A and B are shown apart, each in its own frame.
Chain A
């Protein structure tokens, strides 16, 4: 009887969620001390909602903050980098004719957000990367080629790889380095065409042969497809020497070709066919010039096609600074994979090797050859506190790895810093922030503030954020007494760190890498005066832990000033943003007085295009760049509103369920743009988000470097 009760009660207990209490009852009964008991088991549950965003660009191309539209695992960043679709015009811009693109933003979570933001970033121009760093013929190392016009990226290529395609009418590329008289070399490549036109590679002494014809017959080293579809290799040395393939190559199939000039004369190889050679010319004409890809200036040569533009695909283009033998060429032709090809090419130490597998979204940020170097560092807050690079400041350096493909400025530690445009009267209760990377034992300033715009001994200086000689981070303010808070640890270890310095009612605080490292709660104000922010320089003379060098030697990125003391949560959210796009959106929500991404390109390519951004909900149009009152549409494009000034804009409406927001970006090429930028592929990033309660939950889609043809 007792065993039966025990078994029955045990089964009952195990079958219930009130496991422990029932088990106690059983044990009591088994011991003979029966008690009456009443039990109710109820589940307590707690469920959260979702904030998600869908962006639809031209052609109904969708991008979601999470997954592909049917849910997915929500990460802490909840940001999607969109690899297709473009929120900016994709066609060729021109002056006086607007191009526009629309993006429809839809809330696809089950919660309504409370705010939305649009943020842009300036990237540079699309590059075709050179995998080699050789300096033959006075080259400067890896020689990025710049893409122009009708080039598309990552088409199907030979060897089961990728290629670029050129449209036969406007697409071509040019090296950014000028070479001095390339001699005794071999050019190798794979190509595919069905059109009997255009040059695969050329060389001329005009950096812009479309606008200015080369002079003095300084255009040769040309490989083109003649009107009969045959391949022609032309070298000029007093006479124009052309050798032509035995058969046509415009077959629509991949063809391997190698051409050379040197002591053995000229040679032309097509696949594994016997070489066509000529001993008439062993050297090319002596001049300096630029290589062109997909285009060649063919005027005056014999047997030339109707168009100088190649129409088709090109891949695995290499220039070897020696004249390869037929056997060596055959070996390279025999490689069956891109990696094998690259390895084999590498044994000949090529001067250049463009695999042409580029995505078209990687930026060349240096000065455009023939253009003017830019020193402008945009204030993305929209408050026009623009920075100007001084002295040894280099734009386009590599930025914080924690923010993805960020870029930065690098400073030489002796003359490089950034001057800012606007003065501020007694900033109180603020947070100054930035990312820095430095090493060495002489310290340097991250952000400084004093009453003089340039460097020099100011009458007042405080709000100084610097790295001391031991590598510790110091924040100093002077409210009658100079007070410094110092991090316990050193950060001069050559890796990126984020620092936030704050003053206000919460005290004088310092955060490094998202965590508070120093606090003096008794200091709540700074010195009262009007001054300017400096990036990478500050006047620490007289401060107790002053660095040996006021100039920072290292790199800086993503600096800014927010007119409130950020909470630890907000600081951590910024530190954890994961990408520059998310960082810009997060910071934009905090209404900074200044935000210098320091990602500007020396090319200032985005300063060549005018733009406006308008959001539309239902019948209401509101311009957010330039900012206008709700219901006021954007003004006509003008040089006042360049792409560089777009920055981070808080929307006037929130993307909520059932109320999609349409973002319309209009652009045109500025009349003031120089000829050198025409047809370049300008890259500009654009991101959208919707979020709940400022920085807590957000959903974002980011087009990191969308391409616009100028």
Chain B
């Protein structure tokens, strides 16, 4: 195989030498025109899919801090400090249900075709300002009512949790942090996002006045929310 390649090489070198000699003769003895194209800017560029989350005061990006950055293979921000539930401490049973509006923007340049929200397990701990008064209830997550509305214009489903096309039902203990935990939600009831477009979700939560007792004082419940878009 290598020998065959060597024979072709010798033939090619001889031919090129003959052409070169002819050209040298012509140039020294004859004038002529020529034309050529040099494609020196030829390139291949990839698109960007970037996700921005904002609650109106804090903004998180899947990459960087809003002015671009090095996109890693995971393209994942796990240090976002936005509280997707209720950031105000010291909630009470029977108090006013509080809402948080979350806006997700495709900060990249490519249409997303997939959107997802995945919730992790609900865990409970001592509230940060409890002064060591810790409720004895071990089912605190069951006591927090929650609904999530999709308020994006043109959304197929108006309610993400509980999932339904119509607007969300009145908040009640039927839908609570325990039933929300460890769930996955896809492009519907969510909304896929075009570049520079946004989707908005309103998360409403309250401490249920019917099932919460004194044993639910001084507690904090946490559920991780993982929001993603992809091509």
Interface positions of A (Cβ within 8 A of B): 5, 8-9, 12-13, 15-22, 25, 35-52, 66-67, 70-78, 108-111, 568-569, 692-693, 696-699
Contacts and interface: CB of A to CB of B under 8 A. Distances in A.
B134 A71 contact: yes
A333 B52 CA distance: 85
A49 B76 CA distance: 34
Given A22-B76, A38-B49, A49-B218, A44 B230 contact: no
B78 A38 contact: no
Given A37-B229, A110-B90, 17 more contacts: A9-B74, A12-B72, A19-B120, A37-B230, A37-B231, A38-B50, A38-B230, A40-B104, A40-B227, A42-B81, A44-B223, A45-B221, A47-B91, A47-B127, A49-B92, A111-B92, A569-B210
Among B50, B82, B133, B219, the one with the most A-chain Cβ atoms within 10 Å of its Cβ is B133
Contacts of B163: none
B71 to A, nearest CB: 9
B148 to A, nearest CB: 10
Interface string B195-231: 0000000010101011011111111111111111111
B19 to A, nearest CB: 42
B150 interface: no
B173 to A, nearest CB: 12
Top 7 nearest A-B pairs (CB, nearest first) are: A71-B132, A49-B90, A44-B85, A44-B84, A78-B214, A18-B226, A38-B62
A52 B108 CA distance: 51
Contacts of B207: 46, 48
A108 B83 CA distance: 28
B217 to A, nearest CB: 4
Contact of B49 (A37, A72, A110): A37
Nearest to A29: B73
Given A49-B218, A74-B214, A693-B93, A38 B136 contact: no
Given A71-B133, A74-B136, A74-B214, A40 B51 contact: yes
B231 A35 contact: yes
7 contacts: A5-B73, A18-B226, A37-B230, A39-B226, A40-B80, A40-B104, A48-B217
B130 A44 contact: no
Interface string B169-186: 000000001000000100
A520 B83 CA distance: 46
B74 A13 contact: yes
Interface of B: 46-53, 60-63, 72-78, 80-87, 89-94, 104, 106, 108, 110, 112, 114, 116, 118, 120, 127-137, 144, 177, 184, 203, 205, 207, 209-210, 212-231
Contact of B90 (A19, A25, A44, A47): A47
A105 to B, nearest CB: 17
B131 to A, nearest CB: 6
Nearest to B130: A50
B93 A12 contact: no
Given A569-B209, A697-B214, A38 B225 contact: no
B217 A50 contact: yes
Contact of A40 (B62, B144, B218): B62
Nearest to B104: A40
Contacts of B87: 45
Among B61, B128, B231, the one with the most A-chain Cβ atoms within 10 Å of its Cβ is B231
Nearest to A568: B210
Contacts of B116: 21
A461 B167 CA distance: 50
Contact of B53 (A37, A42, A697): A42
Contacts of B127: 47-50
Nearest to B148: A44
B224 A43 contact: yes
Among B61, B205, B225, the one with the most A-chain Cβ atoms within 10 Å of its Cβ is B225
A697 B30 CA distance: 106
Contacts of B46: 36
Given A40-B60, A41-B224, A49 B91 contact: yes
A41 B80 contact: yes
B216 A75 contact: no
Contacts of B74: 9, 12-13, 16, 22, 25, 39
A598 B86 CA distance: 46
A46 B177 contact: yes
